[in-house]
Amino acid sequence: MPCTLSICTGVDADYQGTTGASFEIAIGSTSGTATLNYALYAGTSLTSGPWKFTIASGVKVLTLVVESTVMGDRISIKEVTNGCNQVLDAFNYTPSLAPEGLEIKGL
Amino acid sequence: MRKTLLFLFLLGSLAARAIADDSSTVYGRCHSPDVFSVENRANAGNLPALKLAIGVGRPCNLPLVQRYVLAHPPQFSDAQMQQMAQNLLTYVQQARQDKQVGASNNSVGTTSLVSKGVGAIVGVALESGSIQETTSGNVATVTLNSAQAANFLSAGAIKPCAVIESNCSFGRKVLSGLTVFTTYDVAQANTSTNSTAAQAALASVVGGNAPAFTGVSARMDFHARKKNVQLTELVKAYQSSSYLSVTGTYASAFNDLITSIDTNPDYQKAISNAIDDLTNTTAYDTDAKVDQILLNLEIAIANIINQNAPTTAAFQSYASAENAYRGARDTALQTVLNKWTASFQYDYNRLPNQPDQSDFKAIYSYRRDAENDRILQVTANASATIYDTLLGSTTSRFRSAQAAFQLDYTATSTASKMQAAVSGGYYFQYMVAKSLLTLPSTDLAPGTSIPLPGNASELLNTTGPIHVGQGKITLSMKNSNVSIPLALTFSNRTDLIKASKVGGNFGITYDFSSLFGALKK
């Protein structure tokens, strides 16, 4: 299944998709101890899965608060809409990191 | 004075470099070091990865911008910074003035330091969480956490050691464990002749016009981390309402800040310029040139934050929410991750019309979660008090000693129909000379869950040892309000026993009221 989000070629956003389409987020990590604790997008906040959102018009920030117990743990932010699997971003965990903020443009 | 200030700042800077764990991190590279290689910069197919790596929304990029902003505050000139440091030092000097005896004032009030409109460095330190002030009755307590202070003074280079962090450096562990408290009596007059500005700075911190110094304490905390913590325990901790409430504010503040930066045309222009500069570098260009391009982008984003009022406000809200989030995360995780905690504390007390006293305290706390629900919690503490001066009397320098022990154990699993909780407590106090001893009236013996009777608030004839102990078992049926607590209390003073039946120095407590209440229904 194709994913909902695609790379945005402009400098105004990281990813883009059709306004009104839904997308689902998941995380993975090398240690297996990473947790997605909070997600916020276009005024909708979630504190537990499934982490599903609907693409809003214009550029909106998808904010994800992720924690792990292993320093340097490689964390992947993935889109898993309808069983697709696309890595949106990946980073090494430290406790002083800010949340992940992906800019998503609704077309 | 100026040389001393310069020396202190130099020392602080050197210490910051020695303790900081990530001082060499570069904007963008912290996210994806490989994407900036010559091959990847020249490959058009890697442009999306390059753009993603330099976005301000990446978790490691914003903290670097934040550090740059904090290290280059535009609102203070060098002269202003010097004046702030001067005010702070004068404030410290004034705080050390001897306490004078004055009229008492029993009114209880609370003072918000921020609401006093404190400017300069003290106000900034408060906003950063380096200094906190609380007032209870006439006593104002100023708390300085050394890790928060180091974080503030190093402009974010030295982060406090988080509970979740397993590889903290020794220096950061020491800073994070050390907390200093100073107390002031806001009802006492201070005869200091310091400058009006210094008096105003002090008054703004402790809420009185000329408060008097009454004591200082230093506490050092040590923790041992549990091994093999289950993921389910972490998830449970992260689902607590107190954590999620603060996290919601934190995520919202971050969202607003990134949105504010991202919608600024200068930001998009800076990103576009950085991509052009990076892709135009050649194989002959060194990493230093790439790092300079990335640093220029970091500075451009910092300038956007500093030069646009709405973005500056969003940044300040985020910095405040971030501090609160780190605290909430530590609170949520400390019982899950910490196996035991030990604390050592020293208190210097300056009491009116009495010799100065020093207290030495040690506190130990242990928690074990067997099968996730049979919880064992043990706390023990001990302290000793000495007179710093005897004022020519022949009284012993050693004043008193106290010790307390408390054990709580959930003996049955949560699945069991019959629930049993066992607890035991013991309190000991030794007084060298007769003195009026004050215990918390109708409350608990210090450091234990042993209830005290109402007439135990003030004890006379206190020379020698005082013992109070209690063993207790509480039986209850699951999903019912019925519980049967049985307790055996002993003490060498019967006026410290709160029990239904007292024989000799023993008392038995039983409470069937809840059982009878259930039968009546």
**What Rg do the C-alpha atoms of chain B give, in angstroms?**
29
Q: Which of B148, B161, B258 should one mutate to test binding to chain A, selecting the residue with the greatest count of A CBs within 10 A?
A: B258
Instruction: Please identify every stretch of chain A with a pLDDT value under 70, giving residue numbers as ranges.
Output: none
Taking a C-beta distance cutoff of 8 angstroms, is the pair B163, B130 a contact? no
Position A75 scores a pLDDT of 95
How far apart (Å, rounded) are the C-alpha atoms in residues B210 and B103? 13
Taking a C-beta distance cutoff of 8 angstroms, is the pair A34, A94 a contact? no
Q: Which residues of B touch A77 (CB under 8 A)?
A: none
Q: Which residues of B touch A14 (CB under 8 A)?
A: 51-52, 55, 57
Position A56 scores a pLDDT of 96
% of chain B exceeding 70 in pLDDT? 68
Q: What is this model's ipTM? A: 0.97
How distant is the Cα of A72 from the closest Cα of chain B, in angstroms?
10
CA nearest to B337, candidates B124, B165, B509, B209:
B165
Q: Which residues of B touch A89 (CB under 8 A)?
A: 52, 58
Position B240 scores a pLDDT of 93
Say if the Cβ atoms of B234 and A96 lie within 8 Å: no
How distant is the Cα of A48 from the closest Cα of chain B, in angstroms?
8
| Residue of B57, B239, B275 lying closest to A102 (CB–CB) | B57
Q: Is the pLDDT of residue B373 over 80?
A: no
Q: Which of A69, A71, A73, A92 should one mutate to test binding to chain B, selecting the residue with the greatest count of B CBs within 10 A?
A: A69
Q: Which residues of A touch B (CB under 8 A)?
A: 7, 9, 11-12, 14, 32-33, 35, 37-40, 45, 47-48, 59-61, 63, 65-67, 69-71, 89, 91-92, 94-103
Q: What is the 3-state secondary structure (H, E, C) of B355-367?
A: CCEEEEEEEEEEE
How distant is the Cα of A55 from the closest Cα of chain B, in angstroms?
16
Say if the Cβ atoms of A47 and B259 lie within 8 Å: no
Position B295 scores a pLDDT of 93
Say if the Cβ atoms of B262 and A32 lie within 8 Å: no
Closest residue of chain B to A37, computed from CA coordinates = B238
Say if the Cβ atoms of A70 and B272 lie within 8 Å: no
Instruction: Please count the residues of chain A.
Output: 107
Say if the Cβ atoms of B51 and A59 lie within 8 Å: no
Q: Which residues of B touch A102 (CB under 8 A)?
A: 57
Q: Which residue has better confidence, A87 or B72?
A: A87
Look over chain B and give the mean of its residue pLDDT values, rounded to a whole number.
Answer: 75
| B184-193, B279-288, B381-390: the lowest-pLDDT one | B184-193
Q: Is the pLDDT of residue B249 over 90?
A: yes
Say if the Cβ atoms of A40 and B255 lie within 8 Å: yes
Average pLDDT score over residue span B346-352 = 86
Average pLDDT score over residue span B493-504 = 66
| A71-75, B7-11, B269-273, B368-372: the lowest-pLDDT one | B7-11
Measured torsion, CA atoms of residues A83, A86, A92, A98, in degrees rounded to the nearest 10? -90
- Provide φ and ψ at B501, rounded to 5°: -130, 135
How far apart (Å, rounded) are the C-alpha atoms in residues B328 and B129? 13
How distant is the Cα of B348 from the closest Cα of chain A, in angstroms?
35
- A15-17 vs A100-106, strand pairing mode: parallel
The model's pTM: 0.71
How distant is the Cα of B379 from the closest Cα of chain A, in angstroms?
26
State the pLDDT confidence band at B474, using cuts at 50, 70 and 90: confident
Closest residue of chain A to B236, computed from CA coordinates = A37
Size of interface A-B (CB pairs under 8 A): 119
Q: Which of A6, A8, A9, A11 should one mutate to test binding to chain B, selecting the residue with the greatest count of B CBs within 10 A?
A: A11
How far apart (Å, rounded) are the C-alpha atoms in residues B458 and B490? 19
| Residue of B59, B239, B337 lying closest to A98 (CB–CB) | B59
Position B103 scores a pLDDT of 27
CA nearest to B248, candidates B263, B238, B258:
B238
Position A24 scores a pLDDT of 97
Say if the Cβ atoms of B60 and A14 lie within 8 Å: no
How distant is the Cα of B304 from the closest Cα of chain A, in angstroms?
16
| Residue of A32, A63, A95 lying closest to B255 (CB–CB) | A63
State the pLDDT confidence band at B165, using cuts at 50, 70 and 90: confident
Tell me how crowded residue B54 is: count the other CB atoms within 10 A of its CB.
25
How distant is the Cα of B134 from the closest Cα of chain A, in angstroms?
28
**Conformational region of residue A72, where left means phi above 0, alpha means psi within -120 to 50, and beta covers everything else:** left
Q: Which residues of A touch B58 (CB under 8 A)?
A: 89, 91, 100-101
Edge to edge, the sheet with strand A51-54 lists A51-54, A22-29, A74-79, A86-92
CA nearest to B190, candidates B140, B144, B145:
B140
How far apart (Å, rounded) are the C-alpha atoms in residues B500 and B134? 40
Q: Which two tokens stand for residue B14?
A: 């050197």
What pLDDT digit, counting tens, does each position of B321-343 carry? Answer: 988 898 899 889 988 888 888 99
State the pLDDT confidence band at B372, using cuts at 50, 70 and 90: low
Position A52 scores a pLDDT of 96
Q: Which long-range contacts (CB under 8 A, 24 or more apart) does B148-154 make?
A: B148/B323, B149/B125, B150/B15, B150/B16, B150/B19, B150/B175, B152/B124, B152/B125, B152/B128, B153/B12, B153/B16, B154/B12, B154/B13, B154/B16, B154/B20
How far apart (Å, rounded) are the C-alpha atoms in residues A74 and A31? 8
In the block, tokens 């790439």 appear at B290
- The SS3 of residue B464 is strand
